[in-house]
Each structure stands twice: as C-alpha cells, then as structure tokens.
Amino acid sequence: MLTNNNIAVTGLGVVCSLANNINDFWSALLNDSCGIKNWEDLKHLDFKYTHASRVENFECDALQRGFLFSVAAIDQAIQQAKVASQEKWGLFLGTTMGESAAFEAIAEKNKTLIPEDYTGFGICKRLQQKYPKIKTFQCFATACAAGNYALNAGLDALRKGDITIAIVGGVDPFSKIAMTGFSRSRAMSPSGICKPFDLDRDGMILGEGAGFLVLEKVENATKRNTNVLAIINDCALSCDAYHPTAPKPDASGIIDCFNQILKNNVLKHSKIDWISAHGTGTKLSDQSEAKAISNVFKAYKPYVSSIKPKIGHTLGAATAIEAIVSVLSIQHNTIPHTINHTNSEFDIRIPKQPVYTEVNHVLNCGYAFGGLNSISLFSSWN
Amino acid sequence: MELNWNTYETTGNTEADLAKKFVDAIHVENNFEFYGNQTAVCFITLNAGTFSSIAFWENALEHSPRFANPGIFPWTLANATSGYIARKFSITGPNYTIIDNRINEKQLISNFKTDVLKYSIKNVFCVYWDIKKTNKQFSLIAKWSLILA
C-alpha cells in the first residue's frame, strides 16, 4: 500500500436505462430485466443498427443531457453520504464526448454554439455553478476508461489532503456520433443482443448514463457518523501503445494492470471474489480481456461478469457505474450475473445467475480506444 | 520544481494531420529517451476531438450514418492524440487526457510525484494542445515539456 489513508465510498448515484436510483438499479441487475431496445427514430435516421440502451422518462434539453444526468446522480450520492456543509469538495469527472448532441447540432447547422462549452470541461463548469462547494475539478476524456481515471484522481487528491470530499464519476449521454462510429468500426451487435464472452457474441450495444460516488477518508466518514459502504484501495493504469482502436492481442497491458494492483495492495489472487469485467461483447475486446484474466488467475478463478448486456456500453460512464456495482456487490454480498451468456468461449468463470456469497474484494475493469487499460480495486470495510 | 515549456505551431487539414506533424517534429528536433511503462503521457486540451466530432457527423449527414467515413471516428475522441503519441514513442505507462483550458503546473508535478511512487515513473511527457479552425484549415499551438524524476 502506498499509504495508510483508507478511502471510503459513502454515497452512490446512478442514471441509466434500468433505473434512476440505486435501489431500483440493484434490483434490476439481479433479475432478468434489460434496458436495451430497438429504436424507431434511429431507423428513420438510417442507422444500420437500431438497438440501444437509452434513458427514458428523462425529458430535458438535449444539449444539457450529460449535465442533467450528472446532477441527478450527484444529488443521490451526496444525499446518501449526508455531506456536511464545511467540507471541501473536489469534482472528478470522466467522459468520452461530453455533450455530444451539441457537436451534432453544430454539424446540422441549426445552432450557433461554441464547441468548447460542451466538452467535459463545460459540464464541470456547470456542475461547479450548481454545487458551489466544489472548489476544484478535473475532467478526464479517457474514453471508455474515463470513470476509472476519475476515481484514480479523486483517490489521489483525498490522500494528499487537497480536499475532504471527492465527487467522482462518469457521464455520457446518448451520442449519434458514437452510434455511427461504433457501427462503422464494425463493433455493434447486428442481433441487438449483447453477449459478453459468449462464443456467439456479435458486438456491443451503445448505452447512456451517469454514475457518481462520494469518496472521503474513512476517518472523515467516521467522524461524520456516515456509513462506509466500501473502500476504494487503488487504481492501476497502463497503455497498450499498439493500435488506435484494437486491444493488444497478447493482452500484456491489461495483465500489467492486474499484476500491479495485486502487488501494490499485497493481495493474493484467491482474495479476489469478483471481476466486474469490461465485457463489451465485441470479438477482440472480450478475447483480450479473457486472455488477461486466464493468464493472471491460473489456479484460482474468481467470478467474472459484465453488466453491459443490461445497460449497454455507457462509454465514459461505464467504469463509474460499474464501480457503483462493485460497491453494491460488497454491500449485499452478491455477485451480479451476466445475462445472455450460454456458450463460454473462454476458461473464465461466468455466473449465469446472481451468486450469493461473501464479497470482500472486487476488481473493476475498463479498457478504451487509444489502448487505455484501467483497473480499480474495491474492498469491504470491517 | 519549474517546468520548461517549448512551443510548436503548425497547420493541417485534420486533427490526425496535426498529431502526425507534432510527433514528427518532436522526433526530429529532440533526443528524448522514453522508458516504456516508466514513462507517462499527460495531454491537456480543451478542444481535441471536437472538430473531428463535428466533421464526422457532417460526413454522416452527407452520406448517411451507414456510410460515414470510419477513419474520422477514432479522432472524435479527445484522447486520440495522446494514444498516437504513446504509439509513436512506445510509451506504455499511464496515459492521461485532461480537458482543461490551462496548464496547471502544480497539479502536473503533484501527479508526477504520485506516479513515481506508484509506477516508478522516470519521466512524463506533458503536452498542452490548442486547436483553432478557420474555414477548412486547422491551426495548432502545442506546448510541451518533459518532467524528469
């Protein structure tokens, strides 16, 4: 361990296609519900693939959808954490594209907008106005690993004592640009069914959403008499430096992250109860991830599952929402299953039903275009 | 610790062009040593990816989303350039893309110190990237610095 300063997770908030609050979200993860649908509007726009996982019943200005998702998730998280007024907040946001609808509107020439106002920086500025206790913020545009990058920065700022409360999360509203791009990259599922690690998997489904966590030092939470839901120990980062979009075939970057996090935190392999996988359902990404897991976990095989068949790939929000699921898994001693999984291609242990077992250590994985690899570690407290 | 910043300016037709010209110039003009997973990249930008995002959706509107030019898509991501830098210099350490309108030296140095402890980092290649678009031409002002352990 780099430091003895344990960092607690004391609040959680989520917005995604399954639910707009933590309790409903957790229930939906444990049953067979799925937020993926076929969308007529996408058909009319001449998209080749028209399945997506979008948030319904959330009417808002399309240009502020990311900001408003964030507000909805942050409000839940700070309410649960019962954050005191004298605390010094820092905001750490991960996003892939920010308010993608603004870039689409500029291209459609139906609005005069300044693009920079709609990046993740713009979202952070608006969040700072909404929550004046935010003294400092950082925005990471590290694609589908952005949530873990934000977690890493929040963890570091708390340990250094720069802030007392870290509001950490990720957001990406639905993006027609991403929908087009993943389709043209042949990453989308023609069947509309996301099947991570399955022999018959045929691609990913795009999602949207936001996930935010409140982090603080355990001693701060204890002093405030706030529940410690779990602790976040560490986050490991690496880069493949191999290809703009494809993962490195030998998975060495991911393997480095696994080894680094186990070594730095003095954890035996057998102590890992669950790997919350990136599990997009694409041929190459799943192959590379499974290869890394098999390589690192040889004698002992932890459970591995992905929630993307339920909520789609929420891009910059993905590792933040999956961090929330990691915490919930520890809180409830339950490992969510992977739906749509029938024929395993890899030698990894994928639960087809929720697993009710003691959960003490969870690894939360996210990989991204640009060759980014990221893994965060969550543990039970007491 | 104070950082020495160098400036590089160029123009190009796409964000991919700008990244290539920048990396080529760094290759030619400098004799840097990078150390694989013991080097990090820290790329700071307010607008990388935004122009490609707009261009990609314009292309999709012109040709239909079914036939949009897939080559533009990776450059819609703000971290495309930092990934390109990593590939060209074989840098496999942490690769940060921070969206900001300024260079926060104090933050960069603080992050570097953490990464020295955590990853035994020997140096960090820091790049501040500011793109302007006039008509169909892009101009780039890049500032770069190397933080050494």
What is residue A86's predicted lDDT score, i.e. its pLDDT?
80
Interface check for B57 against chain A (CB to CB < 8 A): the answer is yes
CB atoms within 10 A of CB A357: 14
**Among all residues of chain A, which has the CA nearest to that of B47?**
A116
In terms of C-beta density within 10 A (0-12 exposed, 13-18 middle, 19 or more buried), how is residue B62 classed?
A: exposed
Q: Which domains does chain B have, with CATH numbers?
A: 6-46+78-148 (3.40.47.10)
Interface check for B140 against chain A (CB to CB < 8 A): the answer is no
CA–CA gap between residue A136 and residue A381 (Å, rounded): 28
What is residue B135's predicted lDDT score, i.e. its pLDDT?
82
- Non-local CB neighbours of A162 within 8 Å, separated by 6+ positions: A90, A136
Interface check for B96 against chain A (CB to CB < 8 A): the answer is yes
Kindly report, residue by residue over A127-162, the tens digit of the pLDDT: 999 999 999 999 999 999 999 999 999 999 999 999
| pTM, full prediction | 0.97
User: E strands of chain B, at which residues?
Assistant: 6-12, 39-45, 95-99, 123-134, 137-148
> What residues of B are in contact with residue A206 (Cβ under 8 Å)?
none
**Among all residues of chain A, which has the CA nearest to that of B95?**
A239
The upper half-sphere exposure of residue A97, i.e. CA atoms within 13 Å in the direction of its Cβ, equals 33
- Non-local CB neighbours of A44 within 8 Å, separated by 6+ positions: none
Cβ–Cβ under 8 Å, residues A83 and A165: yes
Q: What is the DSSP letter of B101?
A: S
Kindly report, residue by residue over B13-66, the tens digit of the pLDDT: 999 999 999 999 998 777 789 999 999 999 999 999 999 999 999 999 999 999
Cβ–Cβ under 8 Å, residues A254 and A290: no
User: Residue B114 — very low, low, confident or very high, per pLDDT cuts 50/70/90?
Assistant: very high
CA distances from A323 to A187, A211, A232, A277, A326 (A): 24, 8, 9, 11, 5
Interface check for B128 against chain A (CB to CB < 8 A): the answer is no
Inter-chain residue contact B50 with A369, CB threshold 8 Å = no
> What residues of B are in contact with residue A141 (Cβ under 8 Å)?
48-49, 77-79, 97-99
- The radius of gyration of chain A's CA atoms, rounded to the nearest angstrom, is 19
Query: Which one, of A247, A257, A344, A268, lies nearest residue A304 by Cα?
Result: A344
Assign A334 to helix, strand or coil.
strand
List the catalytic residues of A: 144, 278, 313
CA distances from B102 to A34, A117, B106 (A): 42, 15, 12
Calculate mean pLDDT across residues A43-72: 97
Query: Residues 72-91, chain B: which have Cβ within 8 Å of A?
Result: 73-74, 76-80, 82-84, 86-87, 89-91
In terms of C-beta density within 10 A (0-12 exposed, 13-18 middle, 19 or more buried), how is residue B29 classed?
A: exposed
> Percent of chain A at pLDDT above 70?
99
Kindly report, residue by residue over A235-289, the tens digit of the pLDDT: 999 999 999 999 999 999 999 999 999 999 999 999 999 999 999 999 999 999 9
Interface check for B54 against chain A (CB to CB < 8 A): the answer is yes
What is residue A2's predicted lDDT score, i.e. its pLDDT?
41
What is residue A4's predicted lDDT score, i.e. its pLDDT?
53
> What residues of B are in contact with residue A188 (Cβ under 8 Å)?
none
CA–CA gap between residue B59 and residue B56 (Å, rounded): 5
What is residue B1's predicted lDDT score, i.e. its pLDDT?
78
Query: Which one, of A156, A239, A88, A238, lies nearest residue B110 by Cα?
Result: A156
Kindly report, residue by residue over B72-110, the tens digit of the pLDDT: 999 999 999 999 999 999 999 999 999 999 999 999 999
Cβ–Cβ under 8 Å, residues B40 and B114: no
Q: Please determine, for residue A84, whether its predicted confidence score (pLDDT) is greater than 90.
A: no
What is residue A30's predicted lDDT score, i.e. its pLDDT?
98
Cβ–Cβ under 8 Å, residues B96 and B110: no
Inter-chain residue contact B61 with A240, CB threshold 8 Å = no
Handedness of CA A163, A166, A167, A169 (dihedral sign): positive
Cβ–Cβ under 8 Å, residues A138 and A93: yes
CA–CA gap between residue B132 and residue B137 (Å, rounded): 8
Cβ–Cβ under 8 Å, residues B48 and B100: no
> What residues of B are in contact with residue A184 (Cβ under 8 Å)?
65, 68-70, 73
> What residues of A are in contact with residue B66 (Cβ under 8 Å)?
46-48, 183
How far B56 CA lies from chain A's nearest CA (Å)?
7
Inter-chain residue contact B77 with A241, CB threshold 8 Å = no
How far B107 CA lies from chain A's nearest CA (Å)?
10
CA–CA gap between residue A182 and residue A203 (Å, rounded): 10
Inter-chain residue contact A149 with B96, CB threshold 8 Å = yes
Q: What is the mean pLDDT of chain A?
A: 96
Inter-chain CB pairs, A–B, below 8 Å: 168
Q: Tell me which CATH homologous superfamily contains domain A231-379.
A: Thiolase/Chalcone synthase (3.40.47.10)
- Quote the tokens at residue A157: 């700022």
Kindly report, residue by residue over A189-220, the tens digit of the pLDDT: 999 999 999 999 999 999 999 999 999 999 99
Domain A7-223 fold is Peroxisomal Thiolase; Chain A, domain 1 (3.40.47)
Q: Please determine, for residue A375, whether its predicted confidence score (pLDDT) is greater than 70.
A: yes
Its ipTM equals: 0.96
Q: At which residue do the structure tokens 């990237």 appear?
A: B129
Handedness of CA A62, A63, A67, A68 (dihedral sign): negative
Q: Please determine, for residue A324, whether its predicted confidence score (pLDDT) is greater than 70.
A: yes
Query: Residues 24-43, chain B: which have Cβ within 8 Å of A?
Result: 37, 41
Q: Where exactly does CATH 3.40.47.10 map onto chain A?
A: 7-223, 231-379
Cβ–Cβ under 8 Å, residues A376 and A230: no
Tell me the one-letter amino acid at A106.
I
Q: What is the DSSP letter of B21?
A: H
What is residue A3's predicted lDDT score, i.e. its pLDDT?
41
